[in-house]
Amino acid sequence: MSNRVYIFDTTLRDGEQSPGCSMNTAEKLRMARQLVELGVDILEAGFPIASEGDFEATYAIAKEFRWVQVAALARTVRLDVERALKALEPARRPRLHCFIATSDIHLKYKLKKSREQVLEDAVRAVELARQYVDDVEFSAEDGSRTDPEFLCKISRAVIEAGARTVNIPDTVGYTVPDEYAAIIGRVVAEVGDRAVVSVHTHDDLGLAVANAMAAVAAGARQIECTINGIGERAGNCSLEEVVMIMKTRQDRVGYSTGIRTELLYPASQLLTEIIGVGVQPNKAIVGSNAFAHEAGIHQDGYLKERSTYEIIRPETVGVPQGKLVLGKHSGRHALAERCKDLGYPLGQEELQRVYEAFIALADRKKGILDEDILTLVHRELEQESAAWRLESVLVTTNGAHGAPVNSRTPELAVRVTLEHEGEVRSHEARSPHLVSALTEAIAGITGVRGKIQSYTMRAAEQQPHPRVDLRAAIEGLEFSGSAESADPYWALAGAYLGAVNRYQQGVRRRDAALQETALR
């Protein structure tokens, strides 16, 4: 049996079904380009019968990426199958992915059908699809809770009808690795070399990745997964995690994929930008803390030899570099390195003074940012310089003033007016995304280009207006900002401008210190 595992990406279909993660056609196309570049083997573009938007997105992806293996989902219903086939017409390598529930609990309460009726529906749908496309995949929904005998029976039937891939989903994230491996092993033995056995796992018990890897060990050769693990409820199997398990532990698992791993982090970041839903900081592979070290012992070892505490080099997955997170557990070595990176090499006495102040701050504050370090180092060097002040924010759609809105690709125009030491300046920027337009408008005035990494908007305690708290990356450093306003656009702009001001104050302090050092 080949050790090549095929990656079936369902970010644009199952992933998009996650609350708050929906995408329009333009956004799906943008994400699809990244997934194609990443090297996924099969790209599931949507569920065409679900909505006109899903049909249009699937058709557009099939048309733009003609030679990519594009899949569309359909129930085992003629109307579904025909709609999916229509959406796949431009594709040169289309895959029709049809499914029906097979577990007794689904048959009794959802479908109200017998096993024989379900089997007939499945065979009929596969036969219909095979009249138009060569590549048909069948999924036995809730396969992990399906009677094994019936699972094998329906697998044999759909293969005889023409299916090339049989997918056994753990639809509700119920199974555990040894149990799932036994199920998959039995289906693999039944199927032989007549079809590829695929798995689709959910993370309701936190076992999606473990279950997928157990299934591969049992003979499955396709994993259905998503970027950042997005998906229904607790999400799907995380693409980046299964890929890096196979790459990092080749010595143990012995499987490979065609994924360009250096594009994993960029793909994660793009998805976050498009849907506005990020991953938790400690998320494996792509989380902001995945390559971060705070404990002093860890930091000391890392600075001497990275492999002491990093099993994956950050650049392998496209992360620019690992980082030392400064907190109350950090040591002098890490603080000295951070100060040096910020442009302030410190002598022993200076380091000791800064370290004592740093520990005192770390006991009071969680998450010490670069701006905090800059403040500690230069607290006595100079007074705070004048900052930019937000005068106004105007957001219009398609530049509007009454112009019609293109619902497919709306463009936002953000005009920002700032005041600095008596001078008032304005700049307008345009983008389909509010955050991009806003940061570019502020950059047009201040000359500072940054990226908002995350932000929250909530009602502040005992305040009548919403409050925005954010973190922004500027020149490789991280800064925070906060603002309150009845106007949410103003609050977001004000919070980001606060981060820009902190950055510029830090730069001025650093330059002054370097000049003083040079004069000595």
Q: pLDDT of the chain along its 520 residues, tens only?
A: 689 999 999 999 998 888 778 899 999 999 999 999 999 999 999 999 999 999 999 999 999 999 999 999 999 999 999 999 999 999 999 999 999 999 999 999 999 999 999 999 999 999 999 999 999 999 999 999 999 999 999 999 999 999 999 999 999 999 999 999 999 999 999 999 999 999 999 999 999 999 999 999 999 999 999 999 999 999 999 999 999 999 999 999 999 999 999 999 889 988 988 888 888 888 999 887 777 655 666 656 655 776 776 888 888 888 766 555 677 777 788 888 877 766 567 778 778 888 888 888 788 766 676 667 766 775 533 344 457 889 999 999 764 433 333 444 568 899 999 998 889 999 999 998 889 999 999 999 999 999 998 888 775 444 456 778 888 888 888 887 878 788 889 989 998 998 898 788 767 656 655 555 555 5
* 175, burial (CB in 10 Å: exposed 0-12, middle 13-18, buried 19+): buried
Contacts of 515 (CB under 8 A, 6+ apart): none
CA dist 43 and 8 (Å) reads 6
The CATH T-level fold of domain 6-275 is TIM Barrel (3.20.20)
User: pLDDT (tens digit, 9 = 90+) per residue, 320-368?
Assistant: 665 556 777 777 888 888 777 665 677 787 788 888 888 887 887 666 7
Tokens representing 347 are 């002598």
Residue 483's beta-bridge partner residues?
468
Q: CA of 218: how far to CAs of 1, 180, 215, 259, 277, in Å?
A: 11, 9, 5, 22, 34
In a 3-state reduction of DSSP, which class is residue 437? Answer: helix
Give the torsion through C-alpha atoms of 117, 118, 120, 121, to 10 deg.
120
* Domain assignments of the chain as residue spans, ordered by start: 6-275, 292-377, 389-511
In a 3-state reduction of DSSP, which class is residue 465? Answer: coil
Task: Check for a shared fold between 6-275 and 389-511.
Answer: no
User: pLDDT (tens digit, 9 = 90+) per residue, 428-447?
Assistant: 999 988 899 999 999 999 99
CA dist 440 and 68 (Å) reads 34
Tokens representing 276 are 């506005």
Task: Transcribe 25-58 into DSSP letters.
Answer: HHHHHHHHHHHHHHT-SEEEEE-GGG-HHHHHHH
The CATH architecture annotation of domain 389-511 reads: 2-Layer Sandwich (3.30)
Q: What is the pTM of this model?
A: 0.69
CA dist 138 and 140 (Å) reads 7
Q: Check: CATH 1.10.10 for 292-377?
A: no
- Return the ∠ at Cα 257 (arms to 21 and 307), rounded to 5°: 90
CA dist 315 and 323 (Å) reads 12
